[in-house]
Amino acid sequence: MIEIEHLHKSFGSTRAVQDVSFTVKRGEIIGLLGPNGSGKTTIMRILTGFFPPNAGAARVAGFDAADQSLALRRKIGYLPENVVLYPDMRVRGFLAFCADVRRINGTRKRRRIEAVMHDCGLREVADRLMGTLSKGYRQRTGLAQALLHEPEVLILDEPTVGLDPRQIIEIRSLIRGLRGRTTVLLSTHILPEVSMTCERVVIIDRGRIVAEDSAAALSRRVEGDDRTLVRVDGPAAEVRRGLDAVPGVERIEAADGIGDVDATAGTCSFIVHSNAGEPVRKAIAAAVVGHGWGLIEVRPLALSLEDLFVRLVTTEAVGPLP
Amino acid sequence: MTFLALFRKELQSYFVSPLFYVVAAVFLCLSGYYFYTDLIFFVTFGFGMNILENFWQLLLVDLRLVMLLSLPMLTMRLFAEEKKLGTIELLLTYPVRDGELFLAKFAACGAVFGIMLAGTLLYPIYVHVLQPFPWVPLIAGYLGLFLLGLSFIACGIFVSALTESQVVAGMATIGILLLFWILSWNEAATSPQLLRALIHLSMFDHFQTFAHGVIDAQDVAYFVFFVSFFSFLTLRVLEARKWRGGR
């Protein structure tokens, strides 16, 4: 449904997008993940026909973004990054205007406006001037106009920015509900969002694709690295030696004062790295008790998506994840 | 229809903001004052003389200045505001041709100007009630004013498409239009050959024929060309986002 081939885009001497290629199948929800300024918005603007690429090609629903932009724009719904709407229009009037421009009329117009206002929770602000709406409602009005014409492809630039936690959950479930019917490309710099809504993830940094994989494979990768937090009531140096002797343990690092680890006097904390799949936690507990120290806490530490992201971005590894 | 939807939106945005009412009020007050003083002048010094040459012509020429000051206030927001707000990004990712968008803005502003100009028709009606006079030459004058206004609007929209700042757009438009006015006003500063060329370029010299009650194809062609030229430039500016990037 979306095909991007060797896309390049520069603004003056700034290379915003460099040799980006990926495809999105019909009905798939794909996440474009990257830090601010990594080229996500540029890719999306090319896909919406806002401006053409310097080199390479982007096709949506078979239409070329540069040459068949008008036909392409009929197929897509787009939520821009900064949702800015006409401040002196009312929500319902704005959606009616969007329907008119898209040549939706008659009963379908009325039915669709009611449907998107219901889906996006806009009923209570239908007659408010858009200039008086809160950021959350503006965002949802932006989403409503993108969904209005039941587009085949939905391009959402940071759809949950500015929403409160309850609204984020609503919007995410709305997007998940489109799975199979609508092809969705959404960008975000919030990592959990990707694992919650997307089937596949393209991670980009400084205009290049750093990794591309399914969300499931990413989670597996995240779980693959085994780390255990151990908190013990005992002499730190001896405890460290004792833990090191446990079979399967690869490396130990001090964890006092890191993150949520409580540095209570008399206890010491370590992060124990072990080979994936080896049941070291039982052995650790036995070793601690065997030495006569007090075992206060043993818990698995997952490698977060943030860690993974930082690792990918800093090593600049190109290609699929190992 | 896409064009109609855009046109209606542009027209609505004029009538929901106080700007239009302020501009229209200033336009009608100033032109009303011109009408009053020109009429007093005519009654005092020109009574019994040709009303067309000694009154209507003066008034039409005076109205130019009021238009020069008020029309840029109506055009300055057309693209600059959408660029500042960012709504242009939404519109340009809708299935809308650049030309449709431009035409909707041009037509809406033209319609609003038409309404303002129609307000001044009160003066000839009033005079006609007091003392009937030949209408036809005045119709030519009004056609001239309308064409002149459309030229101002085309130029104003072009400047508005260049910037995100409404104030910059308004001021620059006034500057450009004033330049077209004063191009040929000082014969001493130019050589005769250059002056002839400048007169051809000067908007107000072309308007003069209309004010005399004459519709000359050459002058109509000038205004049509002027409008087309600035429309063409505006469309090129809209297209420029494609190779320049940004919005």
ipTM over 0.95: no
CATH number 3.30.70.3100 given to A226-302 = yes
Eight-state DSSP code of residue B185 = S
Q: Tokens for B23?
A: 């501009």
Q: How do residues B2-27 score in pLDDT, each as one tens digit?
A: 899 999 999 999 998 899 999 999 99
- B129-157: average pLDDT: 90
Instruction: CATH number for A2-221: choose from 3.40.50.300, 3.40.50.1820, 3.40.50.620, 1.20.1250.20.
Output: 3.40.50.300
- A77-105: average pLDDT: 89
Q: How do residues B152-169 score in pLDDT, each as one tens digit?
A: 999 999 999 999 999 999
Does A80 contact B at CB distance below 8 Å?
yes
Q: How much of chain A exceeds pLDDT 70, in percent?
A: 85
SS (HEC) of A102-130: CCCCHHHHHHHHHHHHHHCCCHHHCCCEH
Work out the widest C-alpha separation in chain A, in whole angstroms: 80
pLDDT value at B73 more than 90: yes
pLDDT of residue B69: 92
Q: Collect all residues of chain B within an 8 Å Cβ-Cβ radius of residue A49.
A: 93
The more confident residue out of A2 and B183 is A2
Q: How far is CA B215 from CA B140, B208, B218, in A?
A: 6, 10, 9
Inter-chain residue contact A52 with B242, CB threshold 8 Å: yes
Q: How do residues A64-84 score in pLDDT, each as one tens digit?
A: 888 888 888 998 999 988 777
**What is the rounded distance in angstroms from the CA atom of residue A149 to the CA atom of residue A172?**
20
pLDDT of residue A318: 43
Q: Of A201-205, A252-256, B173-177, B179-183, which one has max mean pLDDT?
A: B173-177
B 96-125 near A (Cβ less than 8 A): 96-97
pLDDT of residue B102: 94
A 138-177 near B (Cβ less than 8 A): 145
**What is the rounded distance in angstroms from the CA atom of residue A190 to the CA atom of residue A30?**
14
- Using CB atoms, which residue from A11, A70, A88 is nearest to B246? A11
Q: How do residues A258-303 score in pLDDT, each as one tens digit?
A: 545 555 566 788 888 877 666 778 888 888 888 888 888 887 776 5
CB of B138 closer than 8 Å to CB of B50 = no
* Mutant choice from B83, B90, B242 vs A, greatest count of A C-beta within 10 A: B90
Residue spans of the domains in chain A: they are: 2-221, 226-302
- The strands making up A14-24's β-sheet, listed across from edge to edge, are A14-24, A2-11, A55-60, A63-64
Q: The tokens 């052995």 sit on which residue?
A: A283
* Mutant choice from B3, B13, B94 vs A, greatest count of A C-beta within 10 A: B94
- Using CB atoms, which residue from A9, A16, A74 is nearest to B95? A74
Q: Of A190-194, A206-210, B218-222, which one has max mean pLDDT?
A: B218-222
- Compute the Cα dihedral for A86, B107, B239, B67 and give only its sign: negative
Q: Collect all residues of chain B within an 8 Å Cβ-Cβ radius of residue A89.
A: 9, 12-13
pLDDT of residue B241: 74
pLDDT value at B52 more than 80: no
Does B21 contact A at CB distance below 8 Å?
no
CB of B157 closer than 8 Å to CB of B78 = yes
pLDDT value at B246 more than 50: no
pLDDT value at A320 more than 50: no
- A112-125: average pLDDT: 90
pLDDT of residue B216: 87
Helix (H) or strand (E) holding B75: helix B57-75
Q: How much of chain B exceeds pLDDT 90, in percent?
A: 48
pLDDT of residue A307: 65
Give the mean pLDDT of chain A: 82
* Mutant choice from A51, A129, A145, A147 vs B, greatest count of B C-beta within 10 A: A51
